[in-house]
Amino acid sequence: MKQYYIYTYGCQMNESDSERLAHQLETAGYTATDAVEEADLIILNTCCVRETAENKIYGRIGELKHLKEKNKDLILAITGCMAQKNQADMFKRAPHIDIVLGTHNIQHINEMIAEVQRTHTHQLNVDMDNTVLPELEAKPNGTFFAWVPIMNGCNKFCTYCIVPHVRGREISRPVSAIVEDVRKLGAQGYKEITLLGQNVNSYGLDFKDGTHFGTLIDALDGIPGIERIRYMTSHPQDMNKEMIDALGRSSNVVTQLHLPVQSGSDRILHKMNRHYTVEHYKDLVAYCRKMIPGLTLTTDIIVGFPGETEEDFEATVQLLKDVRYDMAYTFIFSKRSGTPAATMEDQVPEEVKRVRLQKLMDVQNEISLALNKDMEGHVYDIIIEGPSRTDETMWFGRTSGNKMVLFPREDRLHVGDTVQARITKGQTWVLYGEIL
């Protein structure tokens, strides 16, 4: 029986695509292996959001060349965003690659494998059809949680982002298909799902019949077995009160909201092509906190975008202080070839970027610590995920707001159990608790 091994890089959408690739391979008779050197098929499901990620993947491709030399029948396939971006150039850079399969074509993996076996030639499929989104089954990797893609593509064209160029235009799955997926997962024992899209707030807008993200949230409410519904990623431009109202009235949508702001300067937001103002963003946050009690709010911020002045940066620092995020994922701007920001004038020096990033992190860390300490003494439902990686005597779980809670291991508890935990100590990145 032939075996496969999948490397997955990048975002949760890629993780979901890998699960769908795995299901197709197993219908063709392949089985998964944990030993890459024993595989008859190796897939690298790739990311190209940052150049460092792309270089890392090329390094891995080079490392796999010796396995091809040992096993002439080994098939090496590259899928995902990097395959879509670089296309046939990948064969030139690494001739030992057999298949390059774009983001819109993972449903063709088995036929591509068959063609390699039949012809012993390179196979390329990077066509982008934005009118059809294939319905593909998955092999979930989680014990109690699963990914559920609701759409693909992005229409926003932020000036720093390559995603619209490699994922194509927005196309949504029907509400009925998503509901069916979630019902099946609930019946199979999965209690937490995450709805995936490059921009979930634009879900359904391509139907042009009034369907929106709130429509989907309402349709998923109360499905048996599903305790928690997460979603990512949101975009402030398309979020509105109707959607927020649906999130607030849902019985199983989590209290976490990841709402990337990227900058606290309207001038920089305009250069980023983000199409909202800081004032509008703050209004959205205020309404979310009103309608979703106990909201945990996280964000993404880019430091050192081309042309960012000290005044622009200080506006971002002030935004952190005003909004008080539970956590902020902060990044130094890095050029991504193929995007307008890569060639903009007034690139910020690297040293200035690093200094600004550290200041931003210091401010956010103080806020995160204060908010986590405010949770001390309070009781939260958590779903147990397993043992701590650093201490075998401790296990961990997450709150609805996606806060990690460490607690002493007990034999009566199992992965996937939903229990109540009282927070005994709040730290910057983690909470400590006791199970009641």
Q: For residue 228, list its beta bridge partners.
A: 192
- Does the annotation flag 81 for ligand binding? yes
Phi first, then psi: what are they for 69, rounded to 5°?
A: -70, -35
Q: Which residues of 106-145 are buried (b: 16+ CB within 10 A; e: fewer)?
A: bebbeebbebbeeeeeebbbbeeeeeebeeeebebebebb
Q: For residue 100, list its beta bridge partners.
A: 78, 124
Report which of 125, 156, 163 is spatially closest to residue 14, judged by C-alpha positions: 163
Please give the model's pTM, rounded to 2 decimal places. Answer: 0.93
Which residues, including other chains, have CB under 8 Å from residue 118's CB and lie 6 or more apart?
A: none
Euclidean distance between the first and final Cα of the chain, in Å?
48
Q: CATH assignment of 145-373?
A: 3.80.30.20
- From first to last of its 436 residues, the chain has per-residue pLDDT tens of 899 999 999 899 999 999 999 999 999 999 999 999 999 999 999 998 888 889 999 999 999 999 999 998 999 999 999 999 999 999 999 999 999 999 999 999 999 999 999 999 999 999 998 888 889 999 998 899 999 999 999 999 999 999 999 999 999 999 999 999 999 999 999 999 999 999 999 999 999 999 999 999 999 999 999 999 999 999 999 999 999 999 999 999 999 999 999 999 999 999 999 999 999 999 999 999 999 999 999 999 999 999 999 999 999 999 999 999 999 999 999 998 889 999 999 999 999 999 999 999 999 999 999 999 999 999 999 999 999 988 889 999 999 999 999 999 998 999 999 999 999 999 999 999 999 9
- Does the annotation flag 47 for ligand binding? yes
Residue spans per domain, the chain: 3-125, 145-373, 379-435
CATH class of residue range 3-125 = alpha beta
Do the Cβ atoms of 57 and 13 come closer than 8 Å?
Answer: no
Strands 3-8 and 31-32: parallel
- Does the annotation flag 154 for ligand binding? yes
Cα–chain center distance at 224: 25
Quickly name the fold that domain 379-435 has: OB fold (Dihydrolipoamide Acetyltransferase, E2P) (2.40.50)
